[in-house]
Structure 1
Amino acid sequence: MLDLALFAFVLAFLALGIARPFLWVLAYIYIDILAPQKIGWTLTPALPISLIAFCAAFAGWLLTDSKKETRIHYRQLLMLLLLVYCGFTTTQSAFPVEAAHKWSWVWKALVFAIFLPFTLTTRTRMEALLVTVVLTLGAIVIATGMKTVLGGGGYESLYFFVNDNSGIYESSTLATVAIGSIPLVLWLMKHGTVFPPDWRVKLFGYGVIFSCLLIPVGTEARTGLVCIAVLGVLMLRDVKNRILYLLAAGVLAIGALPFLPQSYYERMATIGSHEGDASASTRVAVWSWTLDYVAEHPLGGGFDAYRANSFTYSMPVRTDEGSSVSVELVEVTDKGRAFHSAYFELLGEQGYPGFLIWMALQITGLLQMEKLRRRYRKRDGPRAAWVADLASALQAAQIVYLVGAAFQGIAYQPVIFLFLGLQIALWTYCAQRESSSGTDAAGERAAKRSRRRRDPPQRDPALP
């Protein structure tokens, strides 16, 4: 029954795009995030629905959208350069089969992110994309949050819609994306027009936020706790009463402590020190190996270059002997361990050129959103406020991602590239509107000067 419902919904989504082709863009985003073809077992896997929606999105834009205001932004060129370079390193990879598998989804994420700003030409379209992302993520986090509340959580034991520890369904990745999406949920609750922000929208929005906060608890992902702390600090920029905000955050944190399981405390206790944790110790060893590897291979080793690593390190092992605890250093040899960091993932796979391109893409996004935030928050009225708040939300989501990416290999996560595409669309939208307003104002001033020259003011003869 679930398989039939999913299949019918996807077909209905695609059918609606016949009347409104932009819906095909949203359909692809829905399919790419939720992966209904993995949830179903007969009908949805039978058709290449992701490829169908991908092609339909491009065809709909080519055939129906106006290209009059289409502009290519330099950040799109950066993504194109990264795409070409990743293609080059894939051909040089020492693990061609594994590299080809990763390339099969990375190129789609990059191409779609390059294409996305061309379709997001209005506020309604940008908001529709956010609604689609939030509701699709909501389907995952709400179900996961319910399992957590009912006692079904635990490290590597909280099962999602699919039994697949990859993509957004990987526990740390889901925790990072869920926390990063909270500012976008708050923006929709305040400035939404697709669903006007009444009490029902706000109630649902707070429910989604609560579910997002439960993800790090249910998955026991240490990265999620760090992301919550980072987001809490970032939100200080925009709250009106910071003292009240800090007091409320402190009360909620203290109130939640009794409800957290003991296993959560034990896992979070390893954040401050990596020496006694096998997972953390392995990551540090992999990062050290990556620096040595990229020193010898400055152009990178292609996708999945980590498979070449092999290292030995000492890890303290604690043994409880009743009244005392003994610590013994044990030599551990490991190989073929993943990078567990987007930064080292870029360094190892794409070398210095790919790393610099990716960092330039991230840094320019942060700077542009900060410019929009400062420029539009000084203007009065809701017509300017939505831009400033959206820029702030996208910047906060990106910062949360960049912090979370330090501890997991999510350099090419498709959801984050959607946010980068939306950043470019928002910047281009504002630039075009400002240019148009400047042209109109200049034209009006020129018309006034022309009228004054044509009809000079008449002098009153009674005046001296």
Structure 2
Amino acid sequence: MRDLLIALVLLGSVPVILMRPYVGFVMWFVISFMNPHHMAYGFITTMPVAMLIGGATLVGFVLFREPKRMPIDATTALIMGLMVWITVSTTASLKPDLAWSDWNRAVKLLGMTLLMIPLLTNRQRLQGVIWAIVISVDFYGVRGGLFTIITGGGGRVVGPDDTMLSDNNQLATALIMILPLLRYLQTQTQNRYVRMGLVIALGLTIVSVFGSFSRGALIGLAVMFLWMIRSSRHKTTILLAAVFGVGALTLVMPESWYARMNTIQTYQDDGSVTGRFDAWKYAFRLAVERPLTGGGFHAYADTAHFFALVPEAPVARAFHSIYFEAMGEHGFVGLGLFLGVIGAGLFTTAKLRKATRKDPQQAWAYELASMVQVSIVGYMVAGAFLELTFFDLFYAIVILPTLAVTVLQREREAAQEPTTRARKVPRFRPPRQIGAKPVRS
């Protein structure tokens, strides 16, 4: 029954997407983050669902009669530049057999990110996509929080197998990025039951981050909360909730959790940490050797080259850092473009916050910009220890300020359009009467 329901929802959405392609992005994020087809056991598990949803969205985009405009700002221009550059670096990859599959995935996610801009032109569509992102990711946050409470922290919270969220560290980073959006939706929701549900989800998500046993996520969570306090209008409430919530949570976590977190101070004795240092050395030396293109996707898989550049390393390791991954795989140019996307996202949020700070009608855009900024900061900190340079969730979030600016521009244009005056119905004059001339006798 569950398999049939999942198949019905996923396949039944295709004709809707063809008529309303903006619905395709809702389903795209559901497929990308929640992976509902992986929860089934029947035929739907082997179907190329993502390809089907993505294809329907592209066809619907072409057929949709609504005017489409692609505003180019710093974020969109840099994403386009990044798409071009990873194509260049992949052609020069050290491991082309592995690199092209990663290139295919990266180009798809960047392309779908850009495709949202011409279609998400009003607040309702934008809110629908934000809800889809939050629900799809936080499904595992709520589930993980309940698991941590029930087991008393006896097991690590992980995501669905064979996905970007399968690893405990990756899932924890995604949950950190979602927390600010949960707060944003709470500020925009009038229904008190929905608001209460969002508060509960936010609390369980924090529990889930702790239950992941991720040290990088713990650091990212702390920095993110400090930035949230800086950015929010409700500083005291957030600070008190954080202090009491985290204080109560640390009291119930098991000794194994404390033992894991204490290794942050003794990182030099941790093999996984020292192994990352070796990988970071390789990334830097590889970028110096090939400054323009780097080694391409999966450059660390060339073990002979790894040991040639880092002979002191006991084993070849993945980069485990968004910054060193971008540097080693795509050179200093690729790193610059990637950092440019992050910087453009932060700049756009700051600009949007300044423009909407004093307008009550645009308070939603101010709150969105504030929380997206917090989310990006969380990604920057937690991602410093993970390979998530081409993470779907980051690009879905970093484009939200651009979408908000587009929506505000459309609303402003609509307000400035002159009201259409009713056309006057012409009055028909009666035919001119011609008087008869007298007849002369």
Task: Please say whether Structure 1 and Structure 2 have the same fold, judged by a TM-score greater than 0.5.
Answer: yes
Q: Distance in 1 between matches of 2:411 and 2:337?
A: 29
Q: 1 CA distance for matches of 2:158 and 2:235?
A: 37
Q: Report the 3-state secondary structure (helix = DSSP H, G, I; strand = E; otherwise coil) of the residue aligned with 1:71.
A: coil
Counterpart position of 1:2:
2
Partner of 2:314: 333
- Asked whether the 8 Å contact 1:174–1:215 carries over to 2, the reply is no
| Shift in Å, 1:7 | 1.6
Per-residue deviation, residues 292-318 of structure 1 (Å, max 9, x unmatched) = 1211111211001112323465xxxxx
TM-score (norm 1): 0.83
Matched, 1:86 2:86: yes
Deviation digits for residues 229-251 of structure 1, max 9, x if unmatched? 11211121244564564344323
Is structure 2 residue 324 aligned with structure 1 residue 344? Answer: yes
Larger radius of gyration: 2
Query: How far is the alpha carbon of 1:170 from its aligned partner?
Result: 2.1
Q: How does 1:177-256 map to 2 (within 5 A)?
A: 177-192=174-189, 197-240=190-233, 242-243=235-236, 245-256=238-249
Q: Deviations over 1:274-303 (max 9, x none)?
A: 201111111112112221121111121100
Q: Which residue of 2 aligns with 1:118?
A: 118
Partner of 1:163: 161
Gap regions ≥5 residues in structure 1: 314-331, 444-464
User: 1:402 corresponds to which residue?
Assistant: 380
Q: Deviations over 1:29-86 (max 9, x none)?
A: 2111122343333321332111111011122222114225543334322212211211
How many aligned residue pairs are there? 413
SS in 1 for 2:106: helix
Partner residue of 1:287 out of 268, 277, 280: 280
The answer as to whether partners of 2:90 and 2:100 remain within 8 angstroms in 1 is yes
| Match among 347, 352, 360 for residue 367 of structure 1 | 347
* Structure 2 segments unaligned to the other structure (5+ residues): 420-441
Contact 1:14 1:27 in 2 (8 A): no
CA distance in 2, matches of 1:142, 1:95: 39
In the other structure, the counterpart of 1:456 is none
User: Partner amino acid for 1:368?
Assistant: T
* Structure 2 CA distance for partners of 1:266 and 1:423, relative to 1, 3 Å: same
- Give yes or no for contact 2:153–2:211 (8 Å, CA) kept in 1: yes
The structure where strand makes up a greater share of residues is: 1
TM-score by length of 2: 0.87
Q: Which residue of 2 aligns with 1:25?
A: 25
TM-aligned CA distance change 1:239 to 1:6, over 3 Å: same
State how far apart, in whole Å, the 2-side matches of 1:301 and 1:95 are: 8
Q: Say whether the 8 Å CA contact 2:20–2:64 is kept in structure 1.
A: no
* C-alpha distance in structure 2 between counterparts of 1:259 and 1:367, whole Å: 40
1:355 and 2:349 aligned: no
Equivalent AA in structure 2 for residue 259 of structure 1: V
Distance 1:409 1:11 in 2: 32
- Whether contact under 8 Å (1:86, 1:350) holds in the other structure is yes
Contact persistence 2:295–2:331 (CA under 8 A): yes
1:431 Cα offset (Å): 4.1
Q: Which amino acid aligns with 1:333?
A: P
2:393 alignment partner in structure 1: 415
Provide closer, same or farther for how the CA distance between residues 368 and 390 of structure 1 changes in structure 2, counting only shifts above 3 A.
same
Q: Could you say which residue in structure 1 is the equivalent of 2:427?
A: none
Aligned CA-pair RMSD: 2.3
